């Protein structure tokens, strides 16, 4: 079964990015003002807490950082030859693992306190974003927005100045939509967490389950093409042409993390 088209589809990218914004808001609003995904925010808050000599609050930001590093290590191992033999479809496996963890946390079948919950979310979310790195041929990240927004702006300018560039404008549209999805997820996550507390995790679990279903549906050949047909990008005569005409602004796959793009 081929999952690559599903992994790169726009609908899946939107759902994953919605979940990324949701989980950051969930952790910050409901669990001690700590980010689950945005390590830049955790490092900044860690520094401010250290400056204020607030060691208890500072210590809250360390477990997600450790979990992030561990997830990068795991994805690297899965990308090596022995890992590829052991797990044939690591991206799908990572998404399934994330869904299972969130179901356990939301259902409270196993009581998970904050010390493990937020690092656990950081771990599975990092596995996800390192496994799903492209929408169509455009690199993006589903758990933070700085790199996506920067590249959207760069491609928008490249598409307008000095001449009209259809491919750059299409890429700007994709990345702009992804950035808006993160914002929407954060709004939804903040609101739902304030009203539902940990039960809000059922919402993000549903988003990820729909994304997983979309990947399988695409792999089985029953899904409609949602990779931009009908949009400006479809004026090109094929996937290969589209890739070769793409503007020079091709980022590293993991946005703000600066990680290489071999974790697919």
Is 86 inside a domain boundary? yes
Is 262 inside a domain boundary? no
Residue 65 lies in domain: 4-225+235-257
Q: What residue ranges of the chain have pLDDT lower than 50?
A: 223, 225, 227-245, 247-264
Q: What integer pLDDT is reported at residue 246 of this predicted model?
A: 52
Is 248 inside a domain boundary? yes
Q: What integer pLDDT is reported at residue 1 of this predicted model?
A: 56
State pLDDT tens for residues 27-61. Answer: 999 988 899 888 989 999 999 999 999 999 899 99
Is 252 inside a domain boundary? yes
Q: What integer pLDDT is reported at residue 230 of this predicted model?
A: 41
Q: How many domains does the chain have?
A: 1
The token pair that represents 133 in the structure block: 């790195």
Is 104 inside a domain boundary? yes
| Cα gap 139→154, rounded to integer Å | 14
* Burial group, residue 240, by CB count within 10 angstroms (0-12, 13-18, 19+): exposed
State pLDDT tens for residues 94-126. Answer: 999 999 999 999 988 777 777 789 999 999 999
Is 263 inside a domain boundary? no
Determine phi and psi for 138, rounding to 5 degrees.
-105, 125
The token pair that represents 112 in the structure block: 């998970």
Q: What integer pLDDT is reported at residue 242 of this predicted model?
A: 45
Q: What integer pLDDT is reported at residue 190 of this predicted model?
A: 95
| Cα gap 264→5, rounded to integer Å | 12
Q: Which of 183, 74, 61, 185 is nearest to 124 (CA)?
A: 74
Is 230 inside a domain boundary? no
Is 63 inside a domain boundary? yes
């Amino acid at each position: 079964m081929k999952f690559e088209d599903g992994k790169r589809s726009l609908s899946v990218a939107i759902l994953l990015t919605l979940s990324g914004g949701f989980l950051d808001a969930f952790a910050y609003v409901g669990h001690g003002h700590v980010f689950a995904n945005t390590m830049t925010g955790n490092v900044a808050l860690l520094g401010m807490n250290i400056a204020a000599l607030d060691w208890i609050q500072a210590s809250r930001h360390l477990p997600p950082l450790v979990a992030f590093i561990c997830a990068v290590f795991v994805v690297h191992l899965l990308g090596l030859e022995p890992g590829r033999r052991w797990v044939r479809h690591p991206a799908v496996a990572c998404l399934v693992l994330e869904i299972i963890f969130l179901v356990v946390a939301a259902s409270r079948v196993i009581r998970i306190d904050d010390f493990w919950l937020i690092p656990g979310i950081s771990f599975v979310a990092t596995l996800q974003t390192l496994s799903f790195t492209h929408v169509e041929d455009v690199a993006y990240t589903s758990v933070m927005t700085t790199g996506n927004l920067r590249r959207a702006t760069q491609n928008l300018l490249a598409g307008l100045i000095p001449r009209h560039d259809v491919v750059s404008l299409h890429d700007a549209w994709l990345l702009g939509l992804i950035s808006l999805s993160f914002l929407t997820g954060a709004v939804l996550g903040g609101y739902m967490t304030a009203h539902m507390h940990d039960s809000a995790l059922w919402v993000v679990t549903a988003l990820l389950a729909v994304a997983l279903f979309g990947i399988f549906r695409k792999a089985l050949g029953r899904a409609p093409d949602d990779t931009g047909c009908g949009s400006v990008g479809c004026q090109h005569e094929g996937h290969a042409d589209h890739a070769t005409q793409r503007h020079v602004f091709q980022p590293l796959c993991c946005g703000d993390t600066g990680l290489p793009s071999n974790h697919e």
